[in-house]
Amino acid sequence: MDDRFAFSIQTGSPEPIYRQLVEHVRRRVAGGQIKAGDELPSVRELAQLLAVHPMTISKAYSLLQAEGLLERRRGLAMRVAAQHQHAQPAASRIELLRPALARAAAEARQLQLAKATVMKLFSDILDEDEHP
Amino acid sequence: MDDRFAFSIQTGSPEPIYRQLVEHVRRRVAGGQIKAGDELPSVRELAQLLAVHPMTISKAYSLLQAEGLLERRRGLAMRVAAQHQHAQPAASRIELLRPALARAAAEARQLQLAKATVMKLFSDILDEDEHP
Amino acid sequence: MDDRFAFSIQTGSPEPIYRQLVEHVRRRVAGGQIKAGDELPSVRELAQLLAVHPMTISKAYSLLQAEGLLERRRGLAMRVAAQHQHAQPAASRIELLRPALARAAAEARQLQLAKATVMKLFSDILDEDEHP
Amino acid sequence: MDDRFAFSIQTGSPEPIYRQLVEHVRRRVAGGQIKAGDELPSVRELAQLLAVHPMTISKAYSLLQAEGLLERRRGLAMRVAAQHQHAQPAASRIELLRPALARAAAEARQLQLAKATVMKLFSDILDEDEHP
DNA sequence: GTGGTCTAGACCACT
DNA sequence: GTGGTCTAGACCACC
């Protein structure tokens, strides 16, 4: 399947959809899965696929464009901007993950869970993700 | 120090304050740090401590009462309900942590980070938390 | 007239307004007058109609959403959740009425009123309601 | 058992305890079960029996005294005042029951219940009460 | 002292 | 337009 369409959103989440999209794209660009020059699905296409309002997609794209990650070309699909090097080295990328890990660690402590128990579950989840 | 007051909130977070409080209390009860019969700080006390409006605290307490975790006694401070065993075994508690871990794992995959790198950072963060 | 707006509250009652609304909606859903998928009046609309503060309406709606009766759709009006069959058979609905009848019966006994007298008045009141 | 002690309160009810007591006494006096000159249980006795704060009992008694139903005698138990005829004819007493019946009728209508169904259940409940 | 309810009104986020 | 969150502050009821 077209990799451009491997988006996933959770409508029930408290995190707004447009923000889920923004961060999803940011991470996939940082990880090199989407490269400079790649085209993104059109607003209408993606809106239909995710069953959300087109303006929601548009808002996400606009934010990404405002920060220079995407470039808008009249009449054409949005494209990942070439002007900057977006893919980041692992040493930088790992820092983008820190907030999510810190949050999980805080919850683990409040739940009084042993480190080994937590690490084991996390390891299992990471393995599942590799072979979905 | 009085353990009842070990609350922490982040005002800058997109997660509303009242919800942070609700989940904080839920986890501390599940972890056994707050036990059945324990009194919670009063609405006004906690509001002053966290520098938020009393109604924000009240909203959190009301939700916890609605789900049966707290019980209200007219004119007295809220108390952890005695009717159910709230502290849960580790096997149950670990499941409460799964969503946070799953989210971190999803982000790690989008960032194309190697499992070993991710596990290492998580391990470090867990260690930091133990000796703050 | 729009049936969605057949709300009624008593501001003088000791029962809080938001709770009157919650129970009103619950009963009208159980009775099938409001069906799954139906939209409720907006917070601001209903607040103006009932001459109460919008937050009072919002509080009632939030509680109904927390118990799964309503579903929130970002930016759109609240809607009766489709996931469960809410309208209940008469055998179930009659049980929802039991507390009110039991209370009336207890008061009747304390007033030392004869059963026939009480039944007659209740019958009259029920008839009045049908032809208001 | 001593009839003066046939009080019943519901601590979980939204109706305040002191008001439950006030209305309970009013109805039992109106019904003639408690007569002029009868002594009521002492504040401490009743507080212990109902497991509530003595001040709550005292507040109820004070309200009843303020409206002339009870009279307080220093060092002695409260007594139903003799100065007025409290027991009321059935024609008056039935009106005291109207609010509870009207409420039940309103709920029945919202639940879309047939009159016959409602009357049947009410009849059953009245019968149960007679032979508890 | 305790919590609850409500109003007034600002600001935000989403469609 | 929709609902959500929060503040400021008044008033009430209960213990």
Instruction: Kindly tell me if the per-residue pLDDT of A119 is higher than 70.
Output: yes
Short-list D91, D17, D80, D75, CA closest to D49: D17
- Within a domain: residue A71? yes
Contact B122 A111 (CB under 8 A): no
Short-list C27, C128, C122, CA closest to D116: C122
Please give the mean pLDDT across all residues of chain A. 82
Q: How far is the CA of B56 from the C1' of E5 (A)?
A: 14
- Within a domain: residue D85? no
Residue nearest to nucleotide F7 (CA to C1'): B53
Map residue B40 onto helix, strand or coil.
coil
Give the nearest nucleotide to C72, CA to C1': F3
- Cα radius of gyration rounded to whole Å, chain D: 17
Q: What is the mean pLDDT of the segment spanning B109-131?
A: 89
pTM of this prediction? 0.73
Which chains reach chain A with 3 or more Cβ–Cβ distances below 8 angstroms? B, C
Dist CA D4 CA D46 (whole Å): 10
- Within a domain: residue B85? no
At residue A97, the pLDDT reads 92
Fill in the DSSP letter of residue B132. -
pLDDT, tens digit (0-9, with 9 covering 90-100), for D14-67: 677 888 888 888 888 888 888 888 888 888 888 888 888 888 888 888 888 888
Give the nearest nucleotide to B72, CA to C1': E3
At residue A114, the pLDDT reads 94
At residue D118, the pLDDT reads 96
At residue D113, the pLDDT reads 93
Chains A and D touch each other (3 or more Cβ pairs < 8 A) = no
Residue A128 to chain B, least CA–CA distance (Å): 10
N-term to C-term CA, chain B: 16
Q: C86 falls in which pLDDT band (50, 70, 90)?
A: low
Tell me the one-letter amino acid at D75.
Answer: G
- Within a domain: residue D105? yes
Give the nearest nucleotide to B17, CA to C1': F5
For A17, the closest chain C residue by CA position comes to C74
Q: What is the mean pLDDT of the segment spanning C87-94?
A: 83
Q: Last residue of a domain, which of A80, A99, A120?
A: A80
Decide if D47 contacts D54 (C-beta within 8 A). yes
Q: Mark whether D73 and D27 lie in a shared domain.
A: yes
Q: How far is the CA of C16 from the C1' of F5 (A)?
A: 21
Q: Last residue of a domain, which of D41, D60, D80?
A: D80
Pick the residue of B71, B72, B74 with the most D CBs within 10 A to test the interface with D by mutation: B74
- Within a domain: residue C37? yes
Backbone angles phi, psi at B24, to 5 degrees: -60, -50
Higher pLDDT, B2 or B100: B100
Q: B118 falls in which pLDDT band (50, 70, 90)?
A: very high
Contact B98 A121 (CB under 8 A): yes
Q: Last residue of a domain, which of D80, D105, D120?
A: D80
* CA distance readout (Å), C41 to C49, C58, C78: 10, 11, 8
Higher pLDDT, D7 or C55: C55
At residue A9, the pLDDT reads 79
Q: Mark whether D36 and D66 lie in a shared domain.
A: yes
> Could you check: is the Cβ of residue C98 within 7 Å of any atom of nucleic acid strand E?
no
CA angle B67, B71, B75 (to 5 degrees): 140
Dist CA C80 CA C65 (whole Å): 9
Contacts of A14 in chain C (CB under 8 A): none
At residue C5, the pLDDT reads 64
Backbone angles phi, psi at A60, to 5 degrees: -65, -45
At residue A1, the pLDDT reads 41
The set of strand F positions with any atom below 7 Å of a protein CB reads 1-9, 13-15
Task: Look at the block and give the residue holding tokens 């019943």.
Answer: D8
Q: How far is the CA of A60 from the C1' of E14 (A)?
A: 12
* C-alpha D66, offset from chain centre: 17
Decide if D39 contacts D82 (C-beta within 8 A). no
DSSP per position, B68-114: TSEE--TTS--EE-SSS--S--HHHHHHHHHHHHHHHHHHHHHTT--
Decide if B99 contacts A123 (C-beta within 8 A). no
* CA distance readout (Å), B117 to A95, A108, B36, B81: 11, 20, 41, 43
pLDDT, tens digit (0-9, with 9 covering 90-100), for B75-103: 889 999 986 666 778 888 999 899 899 98
Dist CA C99 CA C102 (whole Å): 5
Q: Mark whether A65 and A10 lie in a shared domain.
A: yes
Q: D94 falls in which pLDDT band (50, 70, 90)?
A: very high
Half-sphere exposure of A101 (CA within 13 A, CB side): 24
Instruction: Kindly tell me if the per-residue pLDDT of C1 is higher than 50.
Output: no
Q: Mark whether C72 and C7 lie in a shared domain.
A: yes
- Within a domain: residue A85? no
Q: Mark whether C17 and C72 lie in a shared domain.
A: yes
Decide if A111 contacts B96 (C-beta within 8 A). yes
Higher pLDDT, B129 or D26: D26
From start to end of chain C, where are the E strands? 70-71, 79-80
Q: A129 falls in which pLDDT band (50, 70, 90)?
A: low
Contacts of C69 in chain B (CB under 8 A): none
Name residue D71's beta-bridge partners. Answer: D79
Contact A129 B101 (CB under 8 A): no
Q: Indicate the residue of A24, A101, A111 with minimum beta-carbon distance to B110.
A: A24
Host domain of residue B100: 90-130
Q: Mark whether B114 and B64 lie in a shared domain.
A: no
- Count structural domains, chain D: 2
- Within a domain: residue C106? yes
Question: How many C-beta neighbours within 10 Å does residue D70 have?
Answer: 24
Q: Mark whether C9 and C73 lie in a shared domain.
A: yes
Q: Mark whether D31 and D8 lie in a shared domain.
A: yes
Dist CA D29 CA D3 (whole Å): 13
- Which H or E run contains D120? helix D115-130
Contact A98 B121 (CB under 8 A): yes
At residue B131, the pLDDT reads 60
Q: Mark whether C63 and C112 lie in a shared domain.
A: no
Q: Mark whether B56 and B25 lie in a shared domain.
A: yes
Task: Look at the block and give the residue holding tokens 């049966």.
Answer: B68
Dist CA D60 CA D33 (whole Å): 19
Contacts of B24 in chain A (CB under 8 A): 110
At residue B44, the pLDDT reads 93
Q: Mark whether A40 and A97 lie in a shared domain.
A: no
> Could you check: is the Cβ of residue C65 within 7 Å of any atom of nucleic acid strand F?
yes
Chains D and C touch each other (3 or more Cβ pairs < 8 A) = yes
Residue A59 to chain B, least CA–CA distance (Å): 18
Which chains reach chain C with 3 or more Cβ–Cβ distances below 8 angstroms? A, B, D
Q: B1 falls in which pLDDT band (50, 70, 90)?
A: very low
Q: How far is the CA of A47 from the C1' of F1 (A)?
A: 21
**Domain harbouring D12, CATH code:** 1.10.10.10
Report percent pLDDT > 70 for chain A: 86
* CA distance readout (Å), B47 to B1, B60, B61, D98: 18, 11, 12, 44
> Could you check: is the Cβ of residue D68 within 7 Å of any atom of nucleic acid strand F?
no
Q: How far is the CA of B100 from the C1' of F14 (A)?
A: 41
- Within a domain: residue C85? no
DSSP per position, A51-87: TS-HHHHHHHHHHHHHTTSEE--TTS--EE-SSS---
> Could you check: is the Cβ of residue A53 within 7 Å of any atom of nucleic acid strand E?
yes
Map residue B39 onto helix, strand or coil.
strand
Contacts of B112 in chain A (CB under 8 A): 31-33, 93
Instruction: Kindly tell me if the per-residue pLDDT of B129 is higher than 90.
Output: no
Q: Mark whether C74 and C101 lie in a shared domain.
A: no
